[in-house]
Structure 1
Amino acid sequence: EVLANEKAQGSRPANEEVDLDELMDDPELERLHADRIAALKREVEKREAFKRQGHGEYREVSEGDFLGEVTRSDKVICHFYHKEFYRCKIMDKHLKTLAPRHVDTKFIKMDAENAPFFVTKLAIKTLPCVILFSKGIAMDRLVGFQDLGAKDDFSTTKLENLLVRK
């Protein structure tokens, strides 16, 4: 009986090899593989299209370019800053880290001193101010560090989680 079990177990790997060979020629498996390759190609093309629109990087825009930048992308995060404010520099550091991680969202910044029209239009009173736009419409905002524990030493992950929830 023990010998019969060992013999049966010994023959299993050979059977499994045959099954794997049969699977390799399976038209359903080939179709799934082709579908996956096509999906990956679409994902790469989508990522490249986002990069052509300025996604994947954190860059400064002028007041004249702002409207076009915000309306040409579905999701935009804009940091209104002042070059002398320490907390704006902290926010800059975190957003610069997040931009390459979230290629589906455009990350931009604008000097509030050089953008009086939009500062007034968007009622920006406190800096740093990060505004989240969806299809050109301001949907939410992060004012100062109040949602980040009102401390300067918050983590990039904490900011990332907050922005994803908003």
Structure 2
Amino acid sequence: MDPALMQQVAALAMGTVEKALDAEIDKMDNLGEEDFARIRKERIEQMKQAALEKEAWRRNDHGVLTTISDQKEFFEAVKRSKRVVCLFYRDSNKWCDVIGNHFTVLAEKHMEAKFLRVNAENSPFLVERLNVWMMPTIICCKEGKVHRQFNGLDEIDPTGKFETASLEFVLHGSGMLDDTPLVDKVLQRQDDASDDELDD
């Protein structure tokens, strides 16, 4: 594309963004008492809903890593929670322990998802039904259906560091977790690395 044309397109886009931003600022500057009361009422209602949702999660054993022993427990958990992150593990696999420790940390931080672990050797039906062929395997379920599956660790963290933040970032990117400061840190590190590559 012609550089001059690219500059014109960029300037046009920037002008559109600036106009929209100016309109939003003008709208905020002209809010009256009724507008503030409405916004406050809406925010209080959102906070009440969030508190009720958090309490429902707590009653449903969110916030802890739960070990389940059979497929019945697995399917019941998937039905009761909108988001379920399940680790299939073997006791003899050290990486399963590493991911299990990260799951414990993430379960405490992310009440919005239910974290489970299943011993693959004791659950042949689930292993076959969900096509679990590598340890560890992470199955992500949303709204009662398998949403994403990670076999092994390459997709989780190809660097081999396997930090909690890396797993959190991948699960966030898969729509399983809400935003967090750790995800923001990982994104910042990626931006910094991209800037460094551009400087070279």
TM range (shorter): 0.7 to 0.9
In the aligned structure 1, how far is the partner of 2:65 from the partner of 2:90?
A: 16
* 1:75 aligned partner: 83
**2:190 paired residue number:** none
Q: Select the residue among 31, 36, 51 that pairs with 1:29.
A: 36
Partner deviation per Cα, 1:61-116 (whole Å, 9 max, x = no partner): 12131111112211111000012210000000111111122211111111111111
Superposed displacement of residue 140, structure 1 = 1.2
TM-score, scaled to structure 1: 0.77
Distance 1:61 1:33, change over 3 A: same
1:92 maps to 2:109? no
**Offset of residue 32 of structure 1:** 3.2
Classify 1:35/1:139 alpha carbon distance in 2 versus 1 (closer, same or farther; 3 Å): closer
Greater relative contact order: 1 or 2 (C-alpha under 8 angstroms, separation 6 or more)?
Answer: 1
Could you tell me how far apart the structure 2 residues matched to 1:39 and 1:159 are?
29
Please report the RMSD computed on the Cα atoms of aligned residues, expressed in angstroms.
Answer: 1.8
The residue correspondences of 1:43-82 to structure 2 (distance < 5 A) are: 43-63=50-70, 64-82=72-90
d(CA) in 2 for partners of 1:128 and 1:110?
A: 10
Given residue 141 of structure 1, which amino acid in structure 2 is its aligned partner?
Q
**Aligned residue pairs: how many?**
141
* Bigger CA radius of gyration: 1
TM-score, scaled relative to structure 2: 0.65
Q: How far is 1:143 from its partner?
A: 1.4
Q: Structure 1 stretches of 5 or more lacking a match?
A: 1-25
**Do structure 1's residue 149 and structure 2's residue 158 form an aligned pair?**
yes
Please list every run of 5 or more consecutive structure 2 residues that lacks an aligned counterpart in the other structure.
1-32, 175-200
1:125 and 1:150 map into 2 onto residues whose CA distance is 22
SS of the equivalent of 1:160 reads helix
Give aligned-pair identity as a percent: 29
Match of 1:165 among 173, 179, 190: 173
Give the drift of 1:28: 4.2
Instruction: Give the Cα–Cα distance (whole angstroms) in 2 for the partners of residues 125 and 28 of structure 1.
Output: 56
Deviation at 1:150, TM superposition (A): 5.9
**Closer, same or farther in 2 for the Cα pair 1:30/1:106, shift >3 Å?**
same
CA distance in 2, matches of 1:136, 1:43: 22
2:46 matched to 1:39? Answer: yes
CA distance in 2, matches of 1:135, 1:33: 31
In the TM superposition, structure 1's runs of 4+ consecutive aligned residues that sit over 3 Å from their partners are 26-32
